[in-house]
Amino acid sequence: MLDTHLHSDVSFDGHSSRAEMALASRAAGVTGLCFTDHYDVVNEKNQLVPVYDWAPARAAQQAARAALGPDFPLGYGLELGNAPADFSAAAKALEEPGLDFVLGSIHNAGPSLGWQDYYYVNFSSPEQCYRYLDDYFTGLEALVAWGNFDSLAHLPYPLRYMAQRDGQPVSLEPYEERILALLRALIRSGKALEVNSSKSEVLMPEYGWLLERYHELGGRLVTVGSDAHRASDAGKGLRQAYALLRAKGFTEVAFYQGRQPRLMPLSF
């Protein structure tokens, strides 16, 4: 049971140390993990962050390794958010030695919507939601075309706030053709698709549809992440995510080392 999307207090919104997260994950049944603390090129304050400081992550990774011991599989990763805001800054961050895994994600709207972080938007109408979703898919398309990441994180992400939190009656149905094009592009370029179990996201009907289409198109590279930000959430939802993968025909999950996928058989 691998968890390759995990945050610590190295992230602005993390609440536990890497050592604490690592031990809690192992206690929850996780058999290998990779920390992917945030570097958002545009941050939660809608500000450009042109340089990422790796020093806190390096120190925290050493502490996690010491807590787990030498034999537990532990990756050194990054969740690279909003790379289309400045691809040169994003690429510079990925020069970090020893990097195992990079998640690509979009957390903020683009410049036409003021770079707003979706988390801080009050979604009050379907029309507003679809303006943001139009923009979101434009950002995803730019990110996937750039391609300097290993797995595309939480593709239905804005629905966490639009539908689950704010109760707006919106779906990804109007974007099916754009999603299929994104999935084909991931497959052509050898990139993985993430199944994210945060906030019961894996229970969204969109994930079942995504995995069915991805599998039909020939996609086999998948990663799984709890997206946990505190020790009490370690491993949360992972069993449901793996059950969904099995139900949709997947038999392996990817664990990255040196930014290369190692395929591991689903064993439960």
Instruction: Please check whether residue 113 is in contact with residue 120, taking contact to mean a CB–CB distance below 8 angstroms.
Output: no
Q: What pLDDT, on a 0 to 100 scale, did the predictor assign at position 202?
A: 67
Rounded to a whole number of angstroms, the CA Rg of the chain reads 17
Q: How far apart are CA 259 and CA 102, in angstroms?
A: 7
Domain count, the chain: 1
**Other Cβ atoms within 10 Å of 9 Cβ, number:** 18
Task: Tell me what pLDDT residue 204 has.
Answer: 77
Q: Are strands 260-265 and 252-257 parallel, antiparallel or unpaired?
A: antiparallel
CATH of the domain at 213: 3.20.20.140
Instruction: Evaluate whether 195 touches 222 at the Cβ level (below 8 Å).
Output: yes
**pLDDT above 70 covers what percent of the chain?**
99
Q: How far apart are CA 193 and CA 223, in angstroms?
A: 6
Which domain covers residue 183, as residue numbers? 2-265
Q: Pick the closest to residue 249 from 210, 204, 215 (CA basis).
A: 215
Going by pLDDT thresholds of 50, 70 and 90, the confidence category of residue 267 is confident
pLDDT (average), residues 74-80 = 98
Q: Residue 33, SS3?
A: strand
Output the average pLDDT for the chain: 96
**In this predicted model, what pLDDT tens digit does every residue of 192-243 receive, in sequence order?**
999 999 876 767 788 899 999 999 999 999 999 999 999 999 999 999 999 9
Report yes or no: 158 and 136 within 8 Å, Cβ to Cβ: yes
Average pLDDT on 72-99 reads 98
Q: C-alpha distances in angstroms, 92 versus 31, 34, 239?
A: 31, 21, 35
- The C-alpha atoms of residue 65 and residue 80 are separated, in whole angstroms, by 22
Taking only the tens place, the pLDDT of each residue in 28-52 is: 999 999 999 999 999 999 999 999 9
- The dihedral region occupied by 182, where left means phi > 0, alpha psi between -120 and 50, and beta the remainder, is alpha
Tens-place pLDDT, residues 171-198: 999 999 999 999 999 999 999 999 999 8
Looking at residue 56, its amino acid is P
Query: In the chain, pLDDT over 90 holds for what percent of residues?
Result: 95
Q: Is the pLDDT of residue 268 over 70?
A: no
Whole-model pTM over 0.95 = yes
Give the pLDDT of residue 199. Answer: 72
